[in-house]
Amino acid sequence: MPDMFKKIAGLFRGKPALVKGAGKLAEGQSKVVTFGDVLAGTATQVMFSRLNGELMAIDAICPHQGVLMDDGALAEGKYVRCPLHLYHFNPKTGAERSAQCRGARSFKVREVGDDADIWL
């Protein structure tokens, strides 16, 4: 996509949400961050992960049966894992390793010092 079209498309993505301290996430680790109210049903739960120095984010809810994925150390050092059926998700793309489960949604993330912007 030409640069001009990327810039124009960016105008329609909305404002990012600022996540304080997300840039401090250690290599090989993941952490759930909740936006909104879980009890009211308005929450978006996002799994931030750092792999190969890059901060990335996918939906923290497994698309198979709606279970919150494990945070902490990445499984096998490179996957976000669902604790129910042990599905493994690529923390950058959200693709499930074995393709037995549909992929999780991925989000655009931009590090800003020790913080991060995320487009939900």
Please give the Cα distance from 47 to 25 (Å, whole number).
11
pLDDT confidence bin for 10, thresholds 50/70/90: low
Q: List the domain boundaries for the chain.
A: 3-119
Single-letter residue type at 40: A
Sequence-distant (≥ 6) Cβ neighbours of residue 64 within 8 angstroms: 82, 84, 85, 87, 101, 102
Q: Output the pTM of the full model.
A: 0.87
pLDDT digits (tens, 9 = 90+) for 60-91: 999 999 999 999 999 999 999 999 999 999 99
| 57 close to 93: Cβ distance less than 8 angstroms | no
Query: Which CATH number does 3-119 carry?
Result: 2.102.10.10
